[in-house]
Amino acid sequence: IKDKIKKVRDNVYEVPGSVNKKMRASGRLYLDDESFEALEDGAIDQIVNIACLPGVHRYAIGLPDIHFGYGFPIGGVAAFSEKNGIVSPGGVGFDINCGVRLIKTNLKQSDIEDKLDELIEALFKNIPSGVGSKGKIKLKENEIDDVLNFGAEWAVENGYGWEEDLEVLEENGRIKEADSTKVSDKAKRRGIPQLGSLGSGNHFLEIQVVDEIYNDEVAGVYGLEKGMVVIMIHSGSRGCGHQVCSDYLRVMDKAYKNHQIDLADRQLACAPFDSKEAQDYLKAMYAAANYAWANRQMMTHWIRETFEDILGKSAKDMGMDIVYDVAHNIAKQETHKFKGNDMKLVVHRKGATRAFGPGSEEIPEKYRKVGQPVLIPGTMGTASYVLHGTQTAMEETFGSTAHGAGRVLSRSQAKKDYKPEEIKNNLAANGVKIRATTENVIAEEAPGAYKDVDSVVKISDSTGIAKLVAKVKPLAVTKG
């Protein structure tokens, strides 16, 4: 398929709408020449398949971290018109509202150096992690519904964190259209014991230090300075979101047939926006998203407590404010400008970070002038990045950019290629401490199992769909 693809400009490729008779739009790939050559055809086929779906608007987009996924590629965005478009759970993914949160401090690396072992050990202990890990709180009966309907608001009301935290979360940590009655009992039962836990594998909690500033003005607005210790959380909606996705894939598998939608791939199962199936899914998916925001909020609280315990100062005195919290697996109803008109769209971001530019009302007031913070993790052994959203992203990618380095090796392949001991030694040589639930996860998550995050953010920056603000590097990481 690659020979049919045209380069539009530096680092942007077009998949013409003529590749396949059924295409209703074209495709766009944000890749440099090297990553274009390396990209598997399967991921491009998925872009073509999405461009065939009803109501697809403008183009199906592959971001710099694109790779093959369930139906929709990971590192992809697709927007469908509310008028004649569809909603598809595969375009969101299983870990609904998997996302990233960054917490800052006023500490320098030298302030914590002696305590780093203790800190990471205590974080590992205080924030439950691992496959099927259970949170350490007991929800009262029916409280799960409040979590699903109120998200981070529920968490703050129940003593997890500060009122002002909510201002700096995407959607303020709660999508109001969520409806817990659309979430199955099975999903709730999986969610109840796991609330307040990190999960496993790719999910992590990392103490980092700001290593480089690319844009002083924006870094200043975000409160970031070179040498500052920060904490990054990557976690999602645990078994609850996974179950919501599974439940509604089954619903959609019937719905697309009933609504006579022609699919290139059954994994794209979907339903028209105004159908009951799509509306129910959206409400349930939003509820799972709220669960994830509550989850990251609770972990934030325990991170602050842990720092207080070990360092003997209050979290407020240590300046432990949240910089921002992004969702990178979600679909949202948004209005985007197109040729001077307002278009109501359902923007599916799967392994994609919202990157709204300056002036957007969706951005916290204090960041509105410079665009929203975009958080892009790398690996436990490399840098991670903070970027800012742009007007270019609004015009080209429905306000979106990449969400990570993106995997190149499957977990099983990574386990064959890497020995945990060797990875630990490499990390140690680079001054990174690690605490993990199993040895296996260390090999599965080897930095070499991921693409080069530096080049991913460089493509984002050079094409302008999000601009670099700061680089952070890991000091210590906990892995579930």
**Binding region for ligand 5GP (CB under 6 A) out of 115-123, 159-167, 248-256, 377-385:** 377-385
CA distances from 256 to 45, 46, 92, 259, 265 (A): 20, 18, 17, 5, 11
Asked whether position 380 contacts ligand 5GP by CB under 6 A, the answer is yes
Contact 399, 343 (CB under 8 A): no
The total number of residues shown for the chain amounts to: 480
Asked whether position 406 contacts ligand 5GP by CB under 6 A, the answer is yes
Give me the least distance between CB of 153 and ligand 5GP, in Å please: 24
Give me the least distance between CB of 459 and ligand 5GP, in Å please: 14
Q: In the range 458-477, which residues lie near ligand 5GP by CB under 6 A?
A: 474, 477
Give me the least distance between CB of 422 and ligand 5GP, in Å please: 16
Contact 301, 126 (CB under 8 A): no
Number of residues forming the site for ligand 5GP (CB under 6 A)? 22
Binding mask 91-110 vs ligand 5GP (x if CB under 6 A, - otherwise)?
Answer: -------x------------
Give me the least distance between CB of 231 and ligand 5GP, in Å please: 11
Tell me which of Mn ion, ligand 5GP, none is bound by residue 146, counting a contact when its beta carbon lies within the kind-specific cut-off of 5 to 8 angstroms: none
Structure tokens at 445: 């998550």
Contact residue for ligand 5GP among 35, 133, 379, 401 (CB under 6 A) = 379
In the block, which residue shows the tokens 């375009």? Answer: 91
Give me the least distance between CB of 328 and Mn ion, in Å please: 5
Helix (H) or strand (E) holding 13: strand 12-15
Tell me which of ligand 5GP, Mn ion, none is bound by residue 89, counting a contact when its beta carbon lies within the kind-specific cut-off of 5 to 8 angstroms: none
Tell me which of ligand 5GP, Mn ion, none is bound by residue 112, counting a contact when its beta carbon lies within the kind-specific cut-off of 5 to 8 angstroms: none
Give me the least distance between CB of 201 and Mn ion, in Å please: 8
Instruction: CB nearer to ligand 5GP: give 166 or 434.
Output: 434
Asked whether position 204 contacts ligand 5GP by CB under 6 A, the answer is yes
Helix (H) or strand (E) holding 477: strand 467-479
Q: In the range 63-82, which residues lie near ligand 5GP by CB under 6 A?
A: 74
CA distances from 87 to 42, 120, 286 (A): 22, 41, 13
Asked whether position 98 contacts Mn ion by CB under 5 A, the answer is yes
Give me the least distance between CB of 333 and Mn ion, in Å please: 22
Helix (H) or strand (E) holding 443: helix 439-444
**Binding region for ligand 5GP (CB under 6 A) out of 157-165, 338-346, 358-366, 379-387:** 379-387
Asked whether position 384 contacts ligand 5GP by CB under 6 A, the answer is yes
Burial 306-327 (b: 16+ CB within 10 A, else e): bbbebbeeebeebebbbbbbbb
Instruction: CB nearer to ligand 5GP: give 25 or 96.
Output: 96
Burial of 427 (0-12, 13-18, 19+ CB in 10 A): buried
**CA 29/CA 14 separation, integer angstroms:** 6
Task: Determine how many CB atoms are found less than 10 A away from the CB of residue 45.
Answer: 18
Asked whether position 95 contacts Mn ion by CB under 5 A, the answer is yes
Instruction: CB nearer to ligand 5GP: give 96 or 144.
Output: 96
Closest C-alpha among 427, 475, 438, 474 to residue 453: 474
3-state class percentages of the chain: helix first, strand second, coil last, to nearest 5: 40, 25, 35
Contact 90, 265 (CB under 8 A): no
Q: Is the dihedral of CA 288, 350, 364, 199 positive or negative?
A: positive
Asked whether position 396 contacts Mn ion by CB under 5 A, the answer is no
Contact residue for ligand 5GP among 101, 174, 190, 234 (CB under 6 A) = 234
Helix (H) or strand (E) holding 35: helix 33-38
Instruction: CB nearer to Mn ion: give 236 or 272.
Output: 236
Strand boundaries in 23-176, DSSP class E: 26-30, 59-67, 74-81, 86-87, 99-108
Asked whether position 377 contacts ligand 5GP by CB under 6 A, the answer is yes
Residues with a known catalytic role: 403
Instruction: CB nearer to Mn ion: give 52 or 96.
Output: 96
**Binding region for ligand 5GP (CB under 6 A) out of 45-53, 192-200, 201-209, 254-262:** 201-209
Q: Is the dihedral of CA 11, 449, 381, 223 positive or negative?
A: positive
Contact residue for Mn ion among 135, 236, 399, 480 (CB under 5 A) = 236
Question: What are the φ/ψ torsions at residue 374 (nearest 5 degrees)?
Answer: -120, 125
Binding interface with ligand 5GP (CB under 6 A): 74, 98, 202, 204, 206, 234, 351, 377-380, 384, 403-406, 445, 450, 453, 474, 477, 479
Q: Which residues here bind Mn ion, judged by CB under 5 A?
A: 95, 98, 236
